[in-house]
A and B are shown apart, each in its own frame.
Chain A
Amino acid sequence: MSRNGVIGGFGLSMGYTLLYLSLIVIIPLSTILLSAMSMSWSDFIATVLDKRALLSYKVTLLASLAAAAVNLFIGFLTAWVLTRYDFYGKSIINAAVDLPFALPTAVAGITLTALYAENGWVGSILAKYGIKVVFTQTGITLALIFITFPFVVRAVQPALEELEAELEEAAESLGASKFQTLTKVILPLISPSLITGFALAFARGLGEYGSVIFISGNMPFKTEITPLLIITKLEQFNYAAANALALVTLLTAFAVLFLLGMLKKYIRREL
């Protein structure tokens, strides 16, 4: 590849990238670090390792992981249907996939709560079988599944589109079963996109606030997510403590994104 691309060469485009990255991402994020560092070390530790904070990490992490895992499966299936089949109303479904991004998160939270509450029409059926969704960990996961749904679909769809049908035909002609074709040919090839989708969904879930607070019930030690704790710190005008908790969330998200990025690189090399 030549160093001088269509948009003005490496120097200029890298310069702009760094400028925008600094203004929009790096500088705002570093103020979080600075503000958290204004606390003494012992205060910082006491804030981020407080029992209530630890339990909120657990609630947030588990729900985000579960939601990303569910979306890995449903998202792949949806992308598969959208790329492999032509059917009536396909473009409508294709557009509907992105709706969770467009919908204000509070609206999503309220709608899901109304639907899954014990007097809602899905919730009332589940209640008969003793399943409670709203105001439990399940409810939090449900909200995150909804909010992060588009990530996996949109990450996997282009990869599936690029996958040539010949590959599958070749696998079949060489005697592979349908299951083998899926697990030995298709999934390895699209696994980098699956990982990207999973990582984005997970990271988004860590920070989600608007939709979750309506469905979680916000009970201390039980269904309290980390972003809610951050808000309660802000309500006390304790900016440093809020930023300390934000920093923990941020570092977790960064570590996960970084590790999954490495994994993706490794897989690409193996392919």
Chain B
Amino acid sequence: MKLLKSFLVAAMLFALPMTLPAKEITLLNVSYDPTRELYEEFNAAFAKYWKAKTGDDVTIKQSHGGSGKQARAVIDGLEADVVTLALAYDIDALHDNGNLIPIDWQKRFKSNSSPYTSTIVFLVRKGNPKNIKDWNDLVKPGVSVITPNPKTSGGARWNYLAAWAYALEHKQNPQEFVKALFKNVPVLDSGARGSTTTFVERGIGDVLLSWENEAFLAVNRLGKGEFEIVVPSLSILAEPPVTVVDRTVDKKGTRAVATAYLNYLYTPDGQRIAAKNYYRPRDKKAFDAYGKFFVKTKLITVDKVFGGWRKAQKTHFDDGGTFDKIYGK
């Protein structure tokens, strides 16, 4: 009892400074892997804007990792004020497991809560020796395709759905089409970065299915002059969504600043920073300014073709879904 008392006193002493009015605000943004550079730049810009507007200092901490893993960390108690993940399914999970956010979270911010978008392109070796032009070239015998495992990688799920949509568009049996495509996949890395390494460093495969921003990174930095980007006739509009985590902001009282933080992504300044980091801005001006980074092709959406992420995940990637059928005997 005495021990408990002294413990409580100690705990209160530690807690006391936190209850004093604080001008110093800290936000935690839990994001996925390739957004590191984007948010480093964006956080500095937002802190400056917030200081000028309210006089308060705001520090934004970042956490990066695989999108699904990050969602689980938040579900398991990581106190994220905002999450900025790779796909809506991972944010849906915050509602489905523990009710951290309302079910209609995607309506809270503009453009499906996705301030920037991306797409999937092909990266081929210099001179395109296998003459790969479109999705139907990927199912030909003798072509080796590199993509991560859709079971573990958010990026790979976009690849898979893009191939599926292509088959639908060309009146082919989509299940047979993806089966033929994955027959040409010699290795399934667990994440997008792993696949890029397999293709670029190990020299395995004729074509890499890649995020547009990763492809530009590979072309411009990893191996200058060794790779070319091929734009298929159809691809998918990847919409990485963002949201405020109600459980955290209500507890910490940071709802206003967290909301302002995400809204700032939609301002011309936020859009410019996204475009500079190879993410497609929604804002036309920013898009035009960095237009050379973005390929032009027909883009389909998960909502229109697949009826949203919940349905797509259940049909294609959950156990017993169409992806498992490819390898089922």
B71 partner residues in chain A, CB cutoff 8 A: 237
The total of Cβ contacts below 8 Å across the A-B interface reads: 65
Beta-carbon contact of B329 and A221 below 8 Å:
yes
A117 and B188 contact, Cβ closer than 8 Å, known pairs A218-B149, A221-B327, A236-B319: no
Q: How far apart sit A113 and B327, CA to CA, in the bound complex (Å)? A: 25
Beta-carbon contact of B186 and A217 below 8 Å:
yes
Q: List CB contacts (< 8 Å) of B279-329 with chain A.
A: 313, 317-319, 324, 327, 329
Q: How far apart sit A120 and B197, CA to CA, in the bound complex (Å)? A: 13
Question: A57 in the interface, Cβ–Cβ < 8 Å?
Answer: no
Question: A22 in the interface, Cβ–Cβ < 8 Å?
Answer: no
Q: How far apart sit A143 and B194, CA to CA, in the bound complex (Å)? A: 17
Beta-carbon contact of B203 and A119 below 8 Å:
yes
Closest to B204 in A: A117
Proximity bits, B88-121, A CB within 8 Å = 1, else 0: 0000010011000000000000000000000000
Question: A235 in the interface, Cβ–Cβ < 8 Å?
Answer: yes
How far does the Cβ of A105 sit from chain B's closest Cβ, in whole Å? Answer: 13
A120 partner residues in chain B, CB cutoff 8 A: 202
Beta-carbon contact of B202 and A113 below 8 Å:
yes
A234 and B187 contact, Cβ closer than 8 Å, known pairs A110-B197, A117-B204, A119-B203: no
A231 and B72 contact, Cβ closer than 8 Å, known pairs A117-B202, A221-B329: no
| Range of interface residues on A (Cβ < 8 Å) | 20 to 34
Q: How far apart sit A146 and B12, CA to CA, in the bound complex (Å)? A: 49
Question: A228 in the interface, Cβ–Cβ < 8 Å?
Answer: yes
Proximity bits, A210-232, B CB within 8 Å = 1, else 0: 00011001111100000010011
A228 and B190 contact, Cβ closer than 8 Å, known pairs A113-B202, A117-B202, A236-B319: yes
Q: How far apart sit A237 and B70, CA to CA, in the bound complex (Å)? A: 12
B72 partner residues in chain A, CB cutoff 8 A: 234, 237
B96 partner residues in chain A, CB cutoff 8 A: 237
Q: How far apart sit A134 and B190, CA to CA, in the bound complex (Å)? A: 15
Among B71, B203, B319, the most chain A Cβ lie within 10 Å of the Cβ of: B319
Question: B201 in the interface, Cβ–Cβ < 8 Å?
Answer: yes
Q: How far apart sit A213 and B318, CA to CA, in the bound complex (Å)? A: 20
A236 partner residues in chain B, CB cutoff 8 A: 313, 317-319
Beta-carbon contact of B201 and A114 below 8 Å:
yes
Beta-carbon contact of B151 and A232 below 8 Å:
yes
Q: How far apart sit A113 and B149, CA to CA, in the bound complex (Å)? A: 18
Q: How far apart sit A232 and B320, CA to CA, in the bound complex (Å)? A: 13
A235 and B201 contact, Cβ closer than 8 Å, known pairs A135-B187, A213-B190: no
Closest to A113 in B: B202
A235 and B319 contact, Cβ closer than 8 Å, known pairs A213-B190, A221-B327: no
Closest to A236 in B: B318
Question: B81 in the interface, Cβ–Cβ < 8 Å?
Answer: no
Beta-carbon contact of A235 and B194 below 8 Å:
no
Q: How far apart sit A79 and B49, CA to CA, in the bound complex (Å)? A: 63
Question: B68 in the interface, Cβ–Cβ < 8 Å?
Answer: yes
Q: How far apart sit A52 and B328, CA to CA, in the bound complex (Å)? A: 9
Beta-carbon contact of A237 and B188 below 8 Å:
no
Beta-carbon contact of A220 and B327 below 8 Å:
yes
A220 partner residues in chain B, CB cutoff 8 A: 188, 324, 327
A219 partner residues in chain B, CB cutoff 8 A: 187-188, 327
B319 partner residues in chain A, CB cutoff 8 A: 233, 236, 238, 241
Beta-carbon contact of A218 and B327 below 8 Å:
no
Beta-carbon contact of B202 and A234 below 8 Å:
no
Which of A217, A228, A241 lies in contact with B187, CB distance below 8 A?
Answer: A217
Closest to A120 in B: B202
Proximity bits, B201-219, A CB within 8 Å = 1, else 0: 1111000000000000000
Q: How far apart sit A110 and B191, CA to CA, in the bound complex (Å)? A: 13
Among A119, A135, A234, A236, the most chain B Cβ lie within 10 Å of the Cβ of: A236
Beta-carbon contact of A135 and B201 below 8 Å:
no
Q: How far apart sit A120 and B201, CA to CA, in the bound complex (Å)? A: 10
How far does the Cβ of B88 sit from chain A's closest Cβ, in whole Å? Answer: 14
A114 partner residues in chain B, CB cutoff 8 A: 201-202
Some 12 contacts from A to B, beta carbons below 8 A apart, are A51-B329, A113-B202, A119-B203, A135-B186, A135-B187, A213-B190, A217-B187, A217-B188, A220-B327, A235-B152, A236-B313, A236-B318
Chain A interfacial positions (CB closer than 8 Å to B): 51-52, 110, 113-114, 117-120, 134-135, 213-214, 217-221, 228, 231-238, 241
Q: Which 4 pairs between the two chains have the least Cβ-Cβ distance? A: A220-B327, A217-B187, A232-B151, A218-B188
